Amino acid sequence: MRIQKQNVFIVAVAFLVVSLTIYAENMKTAALSPKWEKIKAVQIQLMPQSIAMPNGGSMKTVSVQGAVQNGKVYFRVSWKDATKNQTHTGDKFADGAGLMFPTTKSALTSPFMGDANNPVLIWQWRADWQNPDAMKKEIAEAYPAYADWYPPHEKPFFEKLGRHPEKGKAGVYLAKGFGTLTLQPVTSVDVIGVYDEAKKMYTVVFSRSLTSQDEKVQFKAGGTVDFNIALWDGSQKERGARKSVSMSWQQVKLGK
Amino acid sequence: MANVYNWQLGRDMEYPYEPAVPAKQIAWVFDTNKCIACQTCTIACKTTWTSGRGQEFMWWNNVESRPYGGWPLGWDVRLLNKLGAQEWENHSGVMKYEGKTIFEAAQGTGEAALGWKPESDDWSSPNLGEDECSSTVKEGDYITIPHMPWMFYLARICNHCSYPSCLASCPRKSIYKRKEDGIVLIDQGRCHGYQECVKNCPYKRPMFRPTTGMSEKCIACFPRVEQNLVTRCVENCIGKIRVQGWISPHDKPVEDNPIDYLVHIKKVAVPLYPQFGLQPNVYYIPPKHVPVSFLNQMFGPGAENAVKTYSVAKEDPNIIGLLMLFGATDRIIERFKVTAQEAIGYTEKGEELVRVPITEPAVVRPFHDEKAGTYRLSIT
């Protein structure tokens, strides 16, 4: 039997859809897995960022867990947030979470965005990056396109969001001190954020292969990871330097 | 915080960064007395730079009416209100600002500068309240607040300040002031759309573009300036209210530099809200018919003398000549000379750019056009 080109296409599309679904399910399953209950969580007190201007930050505590499974590292970040803010517009800012790792030794590295000799690696999740469809809808409603002609070289609506990582991926940055945060062309970190409306609770899971050629930070099962954490509460218009931070290096053990 | 000298305040002030004086500083003079708010500048800018999606509410150049108009809504009065009443003092004829700049007022607050962030609605009306001041001047009226049958148009672009608050406020260090010409730009490769610049620019010139998630602002038509061409708003001004050039340091004015002559030597053009402390580089010839108290608040204590000098401009051939050179060419006039009959604009190297008569010759044509065999509707 001859295989029709059309059939190949359908099979390919079907496979792509299924694999994307499995992938999304995996990350969501990873975020909500009951196995996390057996892994010790580090409770961290947060402070408003008050060193670089502008200051800010309203979140008080966050819980962080680390785990390793099938060659991948998982970090699970959970915190209470009374409101779900998933868009970034002229008036609104989105909720977010960031993990920061030293690329050299934590003892040598400033916990405040690193320094010239000791850069830090940062993984960021933002609710608006995860929900581009919600963003698109809100922006279309808030800023209707009223011109009847646009320059033809303009890319289609919303595709110019240069700072947004791919859906399902964390923003990966390097920083060498305040104001130096620079997005890296790295797509190795998967991330998902789940908001529990009943508990008013965010759960965000970051995941990456234990080792990575793209990043200077490597992990190993049973090891201890030094990190710092930041949270942004969109309802308080927190963004950028207006964030709640752990002031010193924290440690989490990578359980199995 | 660094200590920097702000000549518009007559004193040192606190600024988050050390001064980095550019090789040249771009500057403009706008004559408010000649502006008719035709918005040709606004549209010239719009069609050149902000015709894209997500820029529908974005006007890098706008013309608003005073005292009640303004875009975004109440951009200046809301900050003036936050800053509170401040004082200037006369030190042997030199006015010194004794109040707080927006940088000084923010000290200890965890903010780079005193500011406020407009909501989307504040950007939605380009000149709300523009007709509020329309009324008839009755016989016996005298001009005073709050009964104010006066108004004027205020054309605005980014001031490309010497001490930009947008630059000072960006936690991403996405904003920079160019070494070669002092133009202030937002690096679209670094901006994350936090809108700290939108909040802390007192003139509200940076604007957020929702479809890119980044902020944008007037770029002083830098690709044109790099070719010694004036900006689109200057080129297209049909009222010829604008002149563009380079401003020298306040203590080293060059007499035949148009901007220096108007700003530093004759002091007929004054900065917009100098008390905020940014040392803005768009200078205004204030409107002649507006109460001095209002002008002092908007243009600083030099406004009254500026109006006086402008009112007797005919006594200074150089001022009259320069006013003739406003809008006379699309090239940047760097030097000028005024003769009894003509005003001439030159490049810095002395290349002649334009030559205009001080007095337009009046030509009266016969009422009857012999050649066409018809009568003329206009004979002058």
Question: How far does B217 lie from chain A, in Å, by closest CA?
Answer: 15
Here the tokens at position A175 are 């920083």
Cβ–Cβ < 8 Å for B334, B315: no
Here the tokens at position B182 are 């002092």
Residues in chain B, overall count: 380
* A130-169 tens-digit pLDDT: 988 888 888 888 777 777 778 777 665 455 455 678 889 9
Q: State how beta strands B175-177 and B184-186 pair.
A: antiparallel
| Band (A185; pLDDT cuts 50, 70, 90) | confident
Taking residues B114-133, what's their average pLDDT?
86
The CA-CA-CA angle for residues A237, A241, A244, to 5°, reads 75
* B314-343 tens-digit pLDDT: 999 999 999 999 999 999 999 999 999 999
How many residue contacts between A and B have a Cβ separation below 8 Å? 92
Is the ipTM higher than 0.90? The answer is no
pLDDT number for residue A163? 62
Q: What are phi and psi of B267, to 5 degrees?
A: 55, 40
pLDDT number for residue A21? 43
B interface residues, A as partner, C-beta within 8 Å: 16, 51-54, 56-57, 110-112, 119-120, 123, 169-173, 188-196, 208, 210-214
pLDDT number for residue A17? 41
Q: Contact A147/B56, CB-based, under 8 Å? A: yes
Least confident of A22-26, B65-69, B84-88: A22-26
Least confident of A62-66, A161-165, B181-185, B225-229: A161-165
| Band (A28; pLDDT cuts 50, 70, 90) | confident
All residues of chain B having their beta carbon less than 8 Å from the beta carbon of residue A240 are 171-172, 192, 194, 196
H/E segment holding residue A199: none
* A75-133 tens-digit pLDDT: 999 999 999 999 998 899 999 999 999 999 888 899 999 999 999 999 999 999 998 88
* B257-295 tens-digit pLDDT: 999 999 999 999 999 999 999 999 999 999 998 989 999
Q: Looking at residue A130, what DSSP letter applies? A: H
pLDDT at A170 over 50: yes
Q: Which of B1, B15, B53, B187 to mutate against chain A (most A CBs within 10 Å)? A: B53
pLDDT number for residue A12? 47
Residue A30, helix vs strand vs coil: helix
pLDDT number for residue A199? 97
pLDDT number for residue A161? 52
Q: Contact B194/A240, CB-based, under 8 Å? A: yes
Here the tokens at position B110 are 């965890």
d(CA B114, CA B44): 32
| Band (B101; pLDDT cuts 50, 70, 90) | very high
d(CA B166, CA B186): 9
d(CA A136, CA A159): 10
The CA-CA-CA angle for residues A153, A157, A163, to 5°, reads 95
Q: Mean pLDDT over all residues of chain B?
A: 94
All residues of chain B having their beta carbon less than 8 Å from the beta carbon of residue A139 are 54, 210-211
- Give the closest residue to A234 by CA, choosing from A136, A90, A87, A131: A87
